[in-house]
Amino acid sequence: MTGKAKPKKHTAKELAAKLDAATTNRGGGKAGLADRTGKEKGGHAKLECPLCKVTAPDIKSMQIHHDARHPKIPFDDTKLNNLHSTAPAAAAETSKPKPGVRGSLKK
Ligand SMILES: [Zn+2]
């Protein structure tokens, strides 16, 4: 299994992790701090920014994020995505054992 630069298949989990890495603010400053403390505290975040998909454990953290990242857009908590409302489905999906599919995954 060496050589040959074959494009890797990306699982949903990998993509989600990449998306998270790309969109989560891990920098310094207030917004970054809110994001980080939120992650540690909440385990899984409750709210998701509809604009950039950053997550926050509560409305206050989200507002801090919003003010920092989207200062030109009015903060509207009704537009936030509540991840807890979809949590059971997501949890079921990630806990499901992955079949060892080696063949094609064509859509
Ligand atoms: Zn955002």
Ligand 1 centroid, distance to 67 Cα (angstroms): 9
Q: How many CB atoms lie within 10 A of CB 11?
A: 11
Given a contact cutoff of 8 angstroms between Cβ atoms, the answer to whether 50 and 79 are in contact is yes
Distance 68 CA to ligand 1 centre (A): 9
* Cβ neighbours, 10 Å, residue 80: 20
Dist CA 6 CA 49 (whole Å): 35
Q: What is the pLDDT of residue 21?
A: 78
Distance from Cα 95 to the centre of ligand 1, integer Å: 28
* Average pLDDT, integer, range 81-99: 63
Quote the CA–CA distance of 64 and 77 in Å, as a whole number. Answer: 12
CA dist 55 and 50 (Å) reads 9
Give the mean model confidence (pLDDT) for residues 78-106. 66
* Higher-pLDDT residue of 39, 106: 106
DSSP 2-57: -S--PPPP--HHHHHHHHHHHHS--SSHHHHHHHHHHHHHHSS-SEE-TTT--EES
